[in-house]
A and B are shown apart, each in its own frame.
Chain A
């Protein structure tokens, strides 16, 4: 007998109260708040308050997370770094979603040569590893926040596109869509008011999970030296700078690493939680 029918168990309780959603959501909200209120929560300026005399101090009373090589307070830099990671994560995913939905919805709705073209384009994008593509784009555009948004925003829309298209195809045949057509609504209006709201569920889930991926991608690009412009902090570049010092001054890399981990984890949990609510038929249902 499958144990799923045997009494209450941890995960049963957790899933009934949508633990994923709450834990992920609250954690993410906290991180966003930390980033937004960084100037008030931080102790120092993340760039200017650099006194080499304080270089490499371990966590202590004055510097909660210790200092880095340049004598800057890591606690403050982690807070400000949240701004970069969150901006890149949310921003690039927004761009991805807009592009993906626009292309996928229109491809599914209109079909024909436009559909074929989008399909081919999506196939091509799916075949190039997105990190590699982003690398190439960052090499052309000089490092910086806008370049990151462009690079990550342009390379990760294919999955959303596929999903939008598939959802559109199944919604297209529904009664209310046919009715709207008969009533003479314009294509654009139908797509925006009839189809879009009905395909948003899975798309929001993918977008949330994608944000986590974008944060990781920003970290990887910064690690390779192609991320945001120094000396402004980004969690990925902080990790890269601390590479040498892992043995001597582990706090320089532990805190940004934990920050990335916490952010991506919260986004993943949030995405899972949303999936539980919005798409109960989905295959990652708990029980």
Chain B
């Protein structure tokens, strides 16, 4: 197990480097620079000399391979560079925005699991009934609705019309502000989890039924059931892991909509401002987070089902 963990961690490094290179190349060819974004609000005439000095200061005049080499060297020392906008270390920027995003992701996945799992479970227990149809139709609908539209609708219904919840922002990090964005983000994973759980549980029950029909004795049923429960857990956990990846990506749009001060909105801002070190930092952090979560889930699956061998 330990060997496996170490191997997975080591495997992350080339992936991170490859992502860093990809993003680096992508952003070297993007039109528009930080210096030009400074004057984008039309206020005040931009000054040629200042722009020239900005480009010089940020090292934007060096060729791409030089800049990338420098970037990798800095990366080895866990130095993500300085933000063009604030001239503070990127690590600082990321650290201050990490918590809200983590809360949002936790909130939405919690919603997905707490609603989705029981829903799928119940639907599987009573297949063919109204409950089953309704839950599954809801699930499919949940997967079909554009998240930002849902977010807007909820914002106007619960915040403006009913006044139950605040409409925007992070507040002081309280629960009330977390509810609307979490639900908007969590509806799709919830739907997928409900369907996956239903299918997995159905398999257990059907196999159970088949076995009972063959009447081979109680102990075999128990063994079979445990074996299938294990399978089901593995499938559900793997789905959760993969959903983390989708949720991280979709969080960007939700954060923009709800003025949520997380890494997603930081990234979108920084792309607009061409604050490249911050964008690169955000993407690396997101990718790292996704890789770690999936590794942990794989480990969990291996613990649950020792037959799963990773070699």
Contacts and interface: CB of A to CB of B under 8 A. Distances in A.
Decide if A and B touch, CB cutoff 8 A: yes
Interface of A: 2-5, 9-12, 14, 120, 123-124, 126-132, 135-137, 139-140, 212, 216, 219-220, 223-224, 236, 239, 243, 246-247, 253, 257, 260-261, 264-265, 268-269, 272, 283-287
Contacts of B149: 239, 253, 257, 260
Contacts, number: 146
13 contacts: A4-B205, A123-B15, A124-B19, A124-B22, A128-B22, A128-B283, A128-B287, A130-B249, A136-B271, A137-B26, A239-B148, A253-B152, A286-B127
Contacts of A285: 199, 202
B127 A287 contact: yes
B152 A243 contact: yes
Interface stretch (B33-41, B45-53, B129-137, B296-304): B129-137
A131 B250 contact: yes
Given A132-B267, A140-B26, A268-B143, A3 B249 contact: no
Contacts of A128: 19, 22, 283, 286-287
- List 4 tightest A-B contacts by C-beta distance, closest first: A129-B249, A9-B128, A264-B144, A265-B144
A5 B209 contact: yes
> Interface SS of chain A: helix, strand, loop or mixed?
helix
Contact of B203 (A4, A268, A283): A283
Interface string B22-36: 110011011100000
Contacts of B156: 246-247
Contacts of A283: 199-200, 203, 235
Given A132-B252, A139-B271, A261-B146, A11 B132 contact: yes
B153 to A, nearest CB: 8
Interface of B: 11, 14-15, 18-19, 22-23, 26-27, 29-31, 125-130, 132-133, 140-141, 143-149, 152, 156, 160, 195-196, 199-200, 202-203, 205-206, 208-209, 235, 245-246, 248-250, 252-253, 256, 267-268, 271, 283, 286-287, 290-291
Given A136-B271, A140-B30, A220 B147 contact: yes
A20 to B, nearest CB: 9
B29 A140 contact: yes
A212 B130 CA distance: 26
A191 to B, nearest CB: 27
B30 A223 contact: no
A12 B152 CA distance: 37
A239 B268 CA distance: 19
Contacts of B206: 2, 4, 287
Given A216-B144, A239-B149, A253-B152, 18 more contacts: A2-B209, A124-B15, A124-B19, A128-B22, A128-B286, A129-B246, A129-B250, A131-B253, A132-B249, A135-B252, A136-B26, A140-B29, A212-B143, A246-B156, A247-B156, A247-B160, A261-B146, A269-B140
Given A130-B249, A131-B249, A285-B202, A239 B144 contact: no
